[in-house]
A and B are shown apart, each in its own frame.
Chain A
Amino acid sequence: MDGQVAIREVQKNYGSFKALDGVSLDIEPGEFVTLLGPSGSGKTTLLNVLAGFTRPDSGSVKMDGVEFLTLPPHKRDLGMVFQSYALFPHMSVLKNVGYPLKLRKVAKGEIDRRARAALDVVKMGHLADRDIGALSGGQRQRVALARAMVFEPKILLMDEPLSALDKNLREHMQIELKRLHDQLGTTTVYVTHDQREALTMSDRIAVINNGTLVQYDTPSRLYDHPVNRFVAEFIGESGFLPVEVREGRLTLFGEPVVSRDPWRGDTRAWMLVRPEKLAWREPEGPANRVDATVCEAIYQGDSFLLDLVLPDGGTIDVRCNPHTANIAIPSSGDKISFWISRDNTVLVEGEA
């Protein structure tokens, strides 16, 4: 199975701004990799480097061992789904999907047959003769996908393809794209700023910030073992408690910290607070206890969002479901305690 990508030390500066600062990344054949980061992080620049629309200052991109970076975009044989779909408004749905085949000098009848087959895969076969203008956003999305994969490229690039869809359709399409990927096995590079979308779809996620690769890991490794506060903050719902580090001893509001992994840094550490990893009653075994005062309890249907004042005067927002936590419904002014068990304790470094 082909479609292996090796990205090495890609550098792209716009004046003094480093859009990509020496990014290296390996993508295995058939893998679904997401480039995840906030806007301006460089994730789209990296995708455009892969597609050939942005010329980097230096670096190397090899596909199946062959240098790729110096090829013009039309010789790269990549399928790409654009954020705006970029369907050709003067062509019908079928003509759009058949366009890559027409350029590859495929016979006329064969073009129509394969284009229709690709449209069937994305469940758009019945709309093949429509005009692009007559399609909804979700339908355009499917046509764009069919056009990107009709010539069976080894690699599929997707630039925030679902960002223009409403929430329900987006979630539905995420599942469908994932199923399609499992079915076709095409190496896929997917760009998004939506961490939940990345967690849903990816085999591996490359978290990018300020033009550098921060962490490249499976979704569960990223969620449970973030390398720093940025990753922990960006992925999932999170809060942070300040941990004092003095001569190798860790304390949280004066109490010694219990944790499974030893702390190697000598700077300040942060204890990661994930709502589903908290206990609101004292658990068995060692745990870190935090006493707080409820400043405000905001009802949000399935849960409460608690704005808590910590012993050091700082505040933290924590989600709490009083029913599953088996506690009384909190209200302003209540004293409340929560625990993070030793196994659930994750410490990260990073700026506040």
Chain B
Amino acid sequence: MIAETSLSVTPRRSPRRPLNAQTLRVQARRERLGRIGLTLPGSILICVVLLIPVGWLFYLSAFDAAGNLTWANYERLGRSLYLRSFFTTFRVAGIVTLLTVLMGYPVAYMMSHARPRMATVILVAVMLPFWTSVLVRTYAWLVLLQRTGLVNGWLQSLGLTNEPLALVHNELGTIIGMTHVMLPFLILPLYASMKAVDPALMKAAANCGATPAQAFRQVYFPQTIAGLGAGAGLVFVLCLGFFVTPVLLGGGRVYMWAMQIGDNISLYGNWGSASALGVVLVLATGLVLFAIRILLKLAGGPR
């Protein structure tokens, strides 16, 4: 009882400094320094291998060998050769993105609704291509699609076609190969956003009176727009700079922007021109990402 009474007395304010303030402040500072120290190596690496080369790229594209500011490299981009490959690049990237969306959405949906074990199996199947190099996969498509390849062989032996179809060494082959390479980049972010949708929402929609189709369109799909946009944006941007697959499967007939850059350097040794192409690609990519952001905000906003 005595102890209780003495405890219930209001403690007097101490005239001294607040308890432990100095030590706590030192600890907080040490923690902050520790965090900066941890991110420092990464920051330096980004600075050295990304910012400096990109800056150098901008410099090369805008200054000639004598160090004078010139727009010659950019003026050359107006030539029809460059314009054509610029549009080819965007057309191929657009078609591939559309195809990955059409093919990837159902796969991601199935994966997010499958039982855990089945979901793992599908996930492994989606990820499997990542474990082999793009080059190997592209050559595999060449084997399948060429004139004497497996697909043409089957088509002819089944009597569906009389002569081999031109499935490769053109835009069709390029699109087939690129779609295959790009699918996982769409499926994974989409899968993550689908996993985050509360399954009770679809029940609630049905309970409100929505048919399955209405519930999908009005409740489920809007929740996945963000993931779909992220995936589609990623695929589109990767397509814009894609090199290996268009070179091998396009057979020289599909001239994409990245190949243009490669040729400028390896064939003509024209770094200035290649840099201008690179700068335009970077700007175009940034523009596309920005447009996607705006679109997402309009479509997937809070309302």
Contact = CB atoms under 8 A, between A and B. Distances in A.
Interface of A: 51-53, 72-80, 82-84, 86-92, 95, 99-100, 103-104, 131, 133, 147-148, 151
A74 B200 contact: no
B201 A100 contact: no
B204 A86 contact: yes
B211 interface: yes
B198 interface: yes
B200 A77 contact: no
Given A80-B204, A89-B223, 12 more contacts: A51-B207, A73-B203, A74-B206, A74-B208, A74-B210, A79-B207, A82-B200, A84-B198, A88-B205, A90-B303, A92-B303, A147-B204
Nearest to B200: A86
Contact of A88 (B204, B206, B211): B204
A311 B115 CA distance: 55
B176 interface: no
B300 interface: yes
A179 B200 CA distance: 27
B202 to A, nearest CB: 9
Contacts of B206: 52-53, 72-74
Contacts of B198: 84, 86
B214 A103 contact: yes
B86 to A, nearest CB: 37
Interface string B208-229: 1111101100110011000000
A151 to B, nearest CB: 7
Chain B: number of interface residues, binned into ranges: 20 to 34
Contact of B222 (A73, A86, A90, A92): A90
Interface of B: 198, 200-201, 203-212, 214-215, 218-219, 222-223, 300-303
Given A90-B302, A92-B303, A74 B211 contact: yes
A95 B201 contact: no
B207 to A, nearest CB: 5
Contacts of B214: 103
29 contacts: A52-B206, A53-B203, A74-B209, A74-B212, A75-B209, A76-B207, A80-B203, A80-B204, A82-B203, A82-B204, A83-B200, A86-B201, A86-B203, A87-B204, A88-B204, A88-B219, A90-B300, A90-B302, A92-B302, A92-B303, A99-B210, A100-B208, A103-B208, A103-B210, A103-B214, A131-B302, A131-B303, A148-B207, A151-B209
A75 B218 CA distance: 17
A75 B211 CA distance: 8
A88 B303 contact: no
A33 to B, nearest CB: 19
A100 B208 CA distance: 5
A118 B181 CA distance: 52
A84 B303 contact: no
Nearest to A89: B223
Contacts of B203: 51, 53, 73, 80, 82, 86
Nearest to A150: B208
Contacts of B211: 74
Contacts of B303: 90-92, 95, 131
A101 to B, nearest CB: 9
A231 to B, nearest CB: 31
A83 B199 CA distance: 12
B303 to A, nearest CB: 6
Most chain A CB atoms below 10 A, which of B208, B212, B223, B300: B208
Contacts of A86: 198, 200-201, 203-204
Contacts of A75: 209
A148 B210 CA distance: 13
Given A84-B198, A88-B201, A100 B209 contact: yes
Contact of B208 (A89, A131, A133, A147): A147
A57 to B, nearest CB: 20
A225 B303 CA distance: 53
B121 to A, nearest CB: 22
B58 to A, nearest CB: 41
Given A73-B203, A82-B200, A86-B203, A99 B208 contact: yes
A244 B264 CA distance: 101
B37 to A, nearest CB: 36
B278 to A, nearest CB: 39
Contacts of A84: 198, 200
A78 B302 contact: no
A86 B210 CA distance: 14
A80 B202 CA distance: 13
Contact of A90 (B204, B207, B215, B223): B223
Given A86-B201, A88-B201, A131-B303, A78 B223 contact: no
A103 B209 contact: yes
A102 B223 CA distance: 19
Q: Which 6 A-B pairs have the closest CB atoms?
A: A86-B204, A86-B200, A73-B206, A100-B208, A103-B209, A80-B207
A104 B203 CA distance: 17
A68 to B, nearest CB: 14
A74 B210 CA distance: 6
